[in-house]
Amino acid sequence: MSRIGSSRLWGKITVLIAVCGWGLSAQAKYAGGSGTVAEPFRITAVSDWQELMATPADWARHFVLTGDLDLDGVLLSPVGNYSKKFTGVFDGNDCIIRNADVNMPAGEYVGLFGYLQTGGQIRNLGVEDASIVGRNYVGGLVGINSGTMTNCYSTGNVTADGGVGGLVGENDGAISNCYSSGSLCGYEVIGGLAGLNYTGTISNCYSTGSVSGTNNVGGLVGFNYAGTITNCYSSGSVSSDEYVGGLVGWHFGTISNCYSTGSVSGDSVVGGLVGFNDGIVSDAFWDVNTSGWTTSAGGTPKTTVQMKTQSTFTSARWDFIGETANGTGDIWAICEGTNYSRLVWQIPQGDIVCPDGVNGLDYSALARYWHETECAALHDCEGADIDLSGAVDFGDVAAVAESWLRDAR
């Protein structure tokens, strides 16, 4: 056969392959999926995360984490950066990413995710025992958030110069039902949850980690410029040279229905709740006994006893479970006299009775209604019917055991 004939034959075969769909299929990406809402890319193994880091072309797609992931020893770089932001959706599926080590001392927009842009979402994700090092805009989960973050948390250590947050370095988007508990260290604009809340909203969130720096340092937010903070609290210790507060260091925006209980130390412009205030602070409190401060640029001082009394907050129109005068959203709950107020979403399902925490008292509550089958008529057997099956049985025991084991980790 001549070369010309051979060329024509292969040309016809090529057309047939294209028309009939013959040949090998494209190599599968990640652990499967197509990156759509209906079929998100599946992140199952460390190699999948590495593929995500190395494929900016996919940063506008949909992803789901199918199980816990340990990134110990993996060389990491942020997913999303200033030139190519993450605009997709990452659903953690209530799974955990552990031992993430992002070490970029001279870097900006540093975190497991570097830059979450408008339209991007991160949800249902836990990050535990992380070590995040950068220069500016550095967070335990996200460097800068302009998108939406819900049901997320981070633990571990974050170190940087400015714009440092336990969860987010700078927030220009929306953060809700999230928390952070790591320790933070930096120079300026440092907050337990977010370093800078520029124009964003933070709602139904809390932070418990220790925070230290030199100026604009807060237990929840370092600098709240034009942002809104509502139904939040912080309990970690805060230390700085100046502009330091138990909740917010420097405040221009809006704070409502918030409190702080952590110890506060500083040399100038220091407050139990807010250090410097040129914004709006309403229905907010701080503990004068635990903070060590009777003064604040905003908020109302209360003793520890008063801070553990529900009427302190309901009289300020806070929405608590079990009352309807302040709304039916059931945002807050309290074990009066023994614990501070908690956000309802953070209470594990096995925590039936006071004080806070899942322990033997909750098993005793189950025993009191064991094999009761009329729970629907008995206010869910005072919470003992955890799975709302109408009866107190082994399903409820399993729920208590699961929460107990989770708290013990």
As beta bridge partners, residue 122 has 90, 149
Q: Pick the closest to residue 357 from 293, 284, 408, 395 (CA basis).
A: 408
pLDDT averaged over consecutive 10-residue blocks of the chain (409 residues)? 43 40 59 98 98 98 98 97 98 98 98 98 98 98 98 97 98 98 95 98 98 98 98 98 98 98 98 98 98 98 98 98 93 95 89 72 69 67 68 68 58
Q: 199 vs 19, 84, 110, 178, 231, CA distance in Å?
A: 53, 21, 20, 18, 17
Helix axes 360-368, 394-408, angle to 10 degrees: 170
Q: 15 CB contacts (<8 Å, ≥6 apart)?
A: none
How far, in Å, CA of 202 to CA of 111, rounded? 19
Residue 24, pLDDT score:
39
Is residue 170 within 8 A of residue 198, CB to CB? The reply is yes
Q: State the first-to-last Cα distance of the chain, in angstroms, to the nearest integer.
A: 73
As beta bridge partners, residue 157 has 131, 183
Tokens at residue 69, please?
């992931």
Residue 379, pLDDT score:
64
Q: 354 vs 334, 368, 380, CA distance in Å?
A: 9, 15, 17
Q: 57 vs 30, 47, 63, 76, 231, CA distance in Å?
A: 13, 17, 13, 18, 37
SS3 241: coil
Tokens at residue 75, please?
């060389």
How far, in Å, CA of 232 to CA of 207, rounded? 9
Residue 359, pLDDT score:
73
Query: ∠ CA(92), CA(200), CA(273), 5° rounding?
Result: 105
Q: Pick the closest to residue 113 from 177, 165, 67 (CA basis).
A: 165
Residue 370, pLDDT score:
72
